[in-house]
Structure 1
Amino acid sequence: MLKSKRILLAVLSMGLLIAGCKDKEDVKPTATLTARAGADQNVKVGDVVNLDGSGSTDSENKTFEYSWTFSKKPAGSNVTLTKPTDSKPAFTPDLPGEYEVEVKISNENGQSADKVLVTATMIEPIVLETNIKDKKVLEDRVANPDIPDYIVNANVQINAELTLKPGVVIAFARDTRLELNDNGGILLAKGDSLKPIRLIGKEPTKGFWGGIVFRSSNGANELEYVEVAHAGSKTLINTIKAGMAVIGSSRAKISIKHCLFQKNDGYGLYIEERVVLSGFEKNTFSENTEAGILLNANNVASLDYNSVFSKANGRNIIEIYASTLSKNLNTEIIWAGFKDKTPYRIMEGLGSDANWKLMPGVILEMGRGARLSIDDGYFYAKGTEASKIIIRPAENERAYWRGMICFSQNSKNLMEHVDFYGGGSIALVSGKKTNIAVYGGGARMEIRNSRIAGSGGYGIYVNYQAVVNEDIETANVYADNVEAKVLKE
């Protein structure tokens, strides 16, 4: 009997213990978390939206954490929240439509959520329809770089200082153009890597708008992180179509850095004689119908190693029209190679009165019938065994271009480790077809360790009054020349 009572007492005690534990587990906090995401908002695309979750509460006044996320946004939007774990994050709508943002707050008492709806509508672009006669600043009005801030429906003349802020997008109507004049016109267009300035067509097709005509000689002119695209619908000067033409008659001056000239019908950039390139750095020329750039010989030395000229253009070359390297015997004009190994192409002919130096790895391509003429100063072309200087025809044909003639009497004239091919298309001098002619009283040239080939006549012609190294025949390799290796009169 006693044993039975003890068992009953133990069972009752266990039951009370279990019941006590169960009651303890069922106890819930009396505190309440309430998330508040703030009032719905109506904004414009590009406006900064400031969200406010500071109205959220904990009934016990305990601290809690915030977490904001987008639960809905327009298709194609790349928008993100700044400081999504703060009480007051922000974002900038990049497309029209609805942006639903949810805030969750949480702590040891639990969690709560709320949503806010932000509706963004498009900002209408401002129409630029009058010439700019007074100082003007154009601001970036829309965050999305595919949406224009401004529209140009007719040609605009710039006769005052115009500043384009980073991120500005100007879309041009068909056949319109922008002209920067020399009577007070200044263009300060300085974007950055995250917010480039874009000068584009209203429709993203080659040759939609005219392009930019640049005449201003003001030294402050600069383009940095600027894209010029879809131009070339009409000629900008003479027969030239281009994204931008810089005109030399007014001795225009401009600095061009980190710019993109792409998808233009014609050249990306045209530089006329007497233009001053005050800066040129890390520019890219892509998908232009002609070559990326067309310029005169005197501005070639301003081009930099890191610019890209060979990106799906009609001709992946640096095109040089008929011009002369000006005489300046106190300065050496250096033509260097490029990171993307783009060749120079001399279209008709090039004369040099300068101290002209070609660096190892340089490639000169010669247009049909073109001629090189070293008239004064010196010509110094010294490659290396591993990095030769190449002077060749634009097409791989023997006797394609006229050749090179040296009248210069300078003792620094040198060709070493040069691969020279394809001259002698017609007589170069004295009825002689030849790759290279050293001609005239006191003219001189030293040629060593080079390959002279593919001439329609002689490899080298030396006039009786000229001076060359005595071992010129044995110091070089000759191949595929129609006449003898060397003719010495």
Structure 2
Amino acid sequence: MVLLSLLAACKKENVEPVAEPLTLECDLVAKGESLTLEDRGAGVDYIASCVVNVRGDLTLAPGVVIQFASDAGLRIYEDGSIQAAGTEEKPIVLTGEDQLPGAWKGVISYSADVKNELRHCTIEYAGGGAFNSNGNEAALILWSGTKLRMSDCTITGSAAYGIDATYSNYDVTIDNTTITQCEMPMYISAPIAGHISGGNFTGNATDAIRVLGSKGGHRLVEDQTWKALSAPYRVSAEGDDLQLGAATLTLEPGVTIEFENGTGIQIGESDASSLVAVGSVIAPITFTGVNKVAGSWGGLEFRFTKSPQNRIQNAVIEYAGSAKWPGAIYMWSNPALSVTNTTFRHIGTCVFYDAPKPNYNPGSQTQNPNLGYDSITTESVGGTYCYGG
């Protein structure tokens, strides 16, 4: 009997109480203050029933799980920051009370703090309604000027975009991140596209990284390389064309860029602007339309640039040549360009369209002396070389 009593006492002492989730206050961190949320080992460690506002420094420890109710979310203000550095063994999870797409709003950041980091984090079941007066909807919304380092994260189950970053002046990198089971992986300002490295962006309703064109200050003004990702880039008609300023855009072999109706790429007004699109035989670069109809998008417009870097090789250009730019490749003022081993198909007008020269006289115009092309294949095109009139 004594032995049984001792065993019973030991058993009671070894039973740890189950930690109940704590409810987060709506104004969680005040300006100038800092707060660390620890992993409480409770399964769900914290519950948010409102939009949680952060105006100071918020740190989420590895293993933290926060559950958000309907219409709840996390807002990082200009004076705030978020440091959510999980580990592979103990990721940080932001989830919804209802395990369904759109169960909560998501995360929005206005912060330009260099400490901002999301690493080994999961954001799931968000995108459930507009988070601001502009109507942005996504699991993660980044306001103009945001700084963020994001790596080894997963966004899944968003009822809208995985990431919406359609403003300007960003300092954002996205590395080895998976976005799946969302409406679309991302809608981003064009300068962000060159800061995406690796990851998986498949399994969504639409597998495409939507890129806002050049309206509202989204033109490229710094050299960039766009990597071949698991989903194509898609130039959005909402932002008009993708424009290159004094910058070189380099496309890796295997890159695919889709274009919504009427859009295209403008390769700038100076010799400092250039497009380097050199694919390989097994990994060509593809420029195509979202709508697979001849002339559904504009094309590639080269203006003035005499950069020797302008080069298209081992590429496919298809469904271009809308009335906007009467040619898959539109040339103004004898730009420098080399095109080799490239297939043009289903072009609404011509492959090359040479815009009228100053003092244009019909019948006297000659081909652009700075254009070199070889091993061109055509299929269903209106002509190879056309002159402006």
Which TM-score applies when normalising by structure 2? 0.87
Q: 1:209 to 1:42 in 2, by over 3 A?
A: farther
1:478 aligns with 2:378: yes
Does structure 2 conserve the Cα–Cα contact (< 8 Å) formed by 1:423 and 1:455? yes
- Provide the C-alpha distance between the structure 1 equivalents of 2:189 and 2:135, rounded to a whole number of angstroms: 16
Q: 1:215 to 1:470 in 2, by over 3 A?
A: closer
Residue in 1 aligned with 2:189?
296
- CA shift at 1:277, angstroms? 3.9
Which TM-score applies when normalising by structure 1? 0.70
Counterpart residue identity of residue 317, structure 1: A
1:233 aligns with 2:128: yes
Counterpart residue identity of residue 282, structure 1: N
Structure exhibiting the larger radius of gyration computed from Cα positions: 1
Residue in 2 aligned with 1:154?
50
Q: What does the per-residue CA deviation read over 1:223-280, in whole Å, with 9 as the maximum and x for residues that have no partner?
A: 10111111111112423210010101xx110100111111011011112333534432
1:378 aligns with 2:274: yes
Residue 331 (structure 2) aligned to one of 438, 453, 466: 438
Residue 60 (structure 2) aligned to one of 164, 180, 205: 164
Q: 1:275 to 1:313 in 2, by over 3 A?
A: farther
Q: What does the per-residue CA deviation read over 1:429-470, in whole Å, with 9 as the maximum and x for residues that have no partner?
A: xxxx2211111x242222111111211111211235473566
1:451 aligns with 2:322: no
Corresponding residue SS for 1:283: strand
Residue in 2 aligned with 1:259?
153
- Provide the C-alpha distance between the structure 2 equivalents of 1:468 and 1:287, rounded to a whole number of angstroms: 50
Does structure 2 conserve the Cα–Cα contact (< 8 Å) formed by 1:257 and 1:282? yes
Does structure 1 conserve the Cα–Cα contact (< 8 Å) formed by 2:334 and 2:369? no
Paired residues, number: 360
Counterpart residue identity of residue 314, structure 1: A
Corresponding residue SS for 2:208: strand
Residue 130 (structure 1) aligned to one of 23, 26, 41: 26
Q: What does the per-residue CA deviation read over 1:175-233, in whole Å, with 9 as the maximum and x for residues that have no partner?
A: 012110112x0111111011111111111111111111101101111010111111111
- Provide the C-alpha distance between the structure 1 equivalents of 2:46 and 2:372, rounded to a whole number of angstroms: 68
Q: 1:470 to 1:155 in 2, by over 3 A?
A: closer
- CA shift at 1:317, angstroms? 1.3
What are the equivalent positions in structure 2 for 1:112-261 lying under 5 Å apart? 118=15, 122-131=18-27, 132-133=29-30, 134-142=33-41, 147-183=43-79, 185-237=80-132, 238-248=134-144, 251-261=145-155
Counterpart residue identity of residue 335, structure 1: W
Residue in 2 aligned with 1:413?
310
Any stretches of 5+ residues in structure 2 without a counterpart? 358-366
- CA shift at 1:39, angstroms? 3.4
Higher RCO (C-alpha under 8 Å, 6+ residues apart): 2
Does structure 2 conserve the Cα–Cα contact (< 8 Å) formed by 1:291 and 1:314? yes
Q: 1:279 to 1:484 in 2, by over 3 A?
A: closer
- Provide the C-alpha distance between the structure 2 equivalents of 1:188 and 1:322, rounded to a whole number of angstroms: 31
Corresponding residue SS for 2:104: coil
Counterpart residue identity of residue 279, structure 1: T
Q: What does the per-residue CA deviation read over 1:409-434, in whole Å, with 9 as the maximum and x for residues that have no partner?
A: 32221111110000123231xxxx22
Residue in 2 aligned with 1:39?
9
1:467 aligns with 2:359: no
Seq. identity, %: 23
- Provide the C-alpha distance between the structure 1 equivalents of 2:267 and 2:11, rounded to a whole number of angstroms: 72
Q: 1:213 to 1:471 in 2, by over 3 A?
A: closer
- Tell me whether 293-302 or 394-403 shows the greater mean CA deviation: 394-403
What are the equivalent positions in structure 2 for 1:350-365 lying under 5 Å apart? 350-353=242-245, 354-365=247-258
Q: 1:188 to 1:271 in 2, by over 3 A?
A: same
Any stretches of 5+ residues in structure 1 without a counterpart? 1-33, 44-48, 50-117
Does structure 2 conserve the Cα–Cα contact (< 8 Å) formed by 1:447 and 1:469? no
Residue in 1 aligned with 2:235?
346
Residue 397 (structure 1) aligned to one of 293, 303, 315: 293
- Provide the C-alpha distance between the structure 2 equivalents of 1:217 and 1:385, rounded to a whole number of angstroms: 42
- Provide the C-alpha distance between the structure 2 equivalents of 1:286 and 1:418, rounded to a whole number of angstroms: 29
Corresponding residue SS for 2:193: helix
Corresponding residue SS for 1:141: coil
Q: 1:247 to 1:471 in 2, by over 3 A?
A: closer
Q: What does the per-residue CA deviation read over 1:60-83, in whole Å, with 9 as the maximum and x for residues that have no partner?
A: xxxxxxxxxxxxxxxxxxxxxxxx
- Provide the C-alpha distance between the structure 1 equivalents of 2:167 and 2:83, rounded to a whole number of angstroms: 23
Q: What does the per-residue CA deviation read over 1:100-155, in whole Å, with 9 as the maximum and x for residues that have no partner?
A: xxxxxxxxxxxxxxxxxx4x653221111231112111000125xxx311111112
Residue in 2 aligned with 1:112?
none
